[in-house]
Structure 1
Amino acid sequence: MEKLVLTEQELKFPIGEFQLPSNISDNQLQLWIHEIKIFPQRLIKAVNGLTEQELNYKYRPNGWTIKQVVHHCADSHMNSYMRFKLALTEDTPAIRPYFEDRWAELHDSNDEDVSDSLNLLTYLHKKWISLLEGLSPEDLNKAFFHPESEQQTSLKENIGIYAWHGCHHIAHIKKAIEYKGQF
């Protein structure tokens, strides 16, 4: 196989960085919610049948392995779901950031058995979609404050971020498999 020549930026963001549209239409919002809805099935399909060796492929030098990406998605999406709940029940709450890179190094994130994280994502997304589909226009404008970025993020913006997040990590997994972790 020919050596892959991609920039660090292309490896880190294979589908590009999230771009927030200036106006989030109802149609755009429904497309994003659909992406979140189908993410667990897409992830399961992406890793189905991978061996332990393949689960250890990295998507870029010094990046995470496929199994770490799967476990990260479960961690990240749980945090996002909780941020939605906080924003819906509090007045622009400050959320608690976490060190995703450190979480990815914990024992459970290095476990080759990704089935628990896949199951967690399947059921979490079912509950999350139920929440998202019931949001009113007023709810969608509620926001949380991120102390690291010092910015408010509305729930409708966060729906877009997480639709992108799922696609972003599916692309990482596909690249790792395509290049057999050889970067």
Structure 2
Amino acid sequence: MDSRSYPLGKFVPEEQPTSEHRKRWIEDIAQIPRMLRLTVQNLNSGQLLTPYRPGGWNVQQVVHHLADNDMNAYIRFKRALTEEAPFAGTYREELWAELSDYQDTPIEASLLLIESLHQRFVVLLRSLSPDQFQRTFTSPTHGRMTLDIATQRYAWHARHHIAQIDSLKERMGWE
């Protein structure tokens, strides 16, 4: 496994999560906007355009991807809470990363979007009962999953991308 692609390792779900697990994941989700902002705050435009690994996205694309992913995740959660086991749409993230908004939009727009979205998402997550965490949706890429699994995956996903950026900064001697 390439440590540049998966600096935290691949996602491994906690199959029997407790309320303490959920609280920790929700707190991780609450802290992601701050962690991401701190991770990218001192990067210049050339550094933002540096791929985190050969053939990988650049830092700017990763930040915009996180905003897009978070919007999609939020909708999946709301649909799972209001529909019976919905089929969640997917998106071609590798193609989205090539669109002009990833190239021409300053990362501040995505950082603000992530901050606002996480504020609402955390309120929603903190309000859920244990039974609601058992509601499901079906992902085209990951299959049927509970909101318990989706919460862990969501928290891991952001930490995973932040770790990719941190790893790049360390290798390049940026700070």
TM-score, L = length of structure 1 = 0.91
The residue identity in structure 2 corresponding to 1:29 is R
Corresponding residue number in structure 1 for 2:83: 90
1:52-91 equivalences in 2 (<5 Å) = 52-91=45-84
Query: 1:94: how far off?
Result: 0.3
Query: 1:178: how far off?
Result: 2.0
The residue identity in structure 1 corresponding to 2:159 is C
1:1-183 equivalences in 2 (<5 Å) = 9-111=2-104, 113-149=106-142, 151-180=143-172
Unaligned residue ranges in structure 1 (runs of 5+): 1-7
1:142-177, CA deviations, whole angstroms, 9 ceiling, x for partnerless residues?
01012344x211111111001101110111111222
What fraction of aligned residue pairs are identical, expressed as a percent?
A: 38
Structure 2: distance between partners of 1:116 and 1:10:
29
Structure 2: distance between partners of 1:139 and 1:126:
19
Structure 2 counterpart SS, 1:24 = coil
Query: 1:112: how far off?
Result: 5.9
Q: What is the count of residue pairs matched by the alignment?
A: 173
Contact 2:14 2:149 in 1 (8 A): no
1:87-112, CA deviations, whole angstroms, 9 ceiling, x for partnerless residues?
00100000111101101111111236
Contact 2:39 2:165 in 1 (8 A): yes
Structure 1: distance between partners of 2:34 and 2:141:
32
Contact 1:141 1:156 in 2 (8 A): yes
1:66-106, CA deviations, whole angstroms, 9 ceiling, x for partnerless residues?
00000000000000000000000100000111101101111
Corresponding residue number in structure 2 for 1:5: none
RMSD of equivalent CA atoms: 1.4
The residue identity in structure 2 corresponding to 1:167 is R
Contact 1:70 1:114 in 2 (8 A): yes
Q: 4+ residue stretches of structure 1 with deviation over 6 A?
A: none
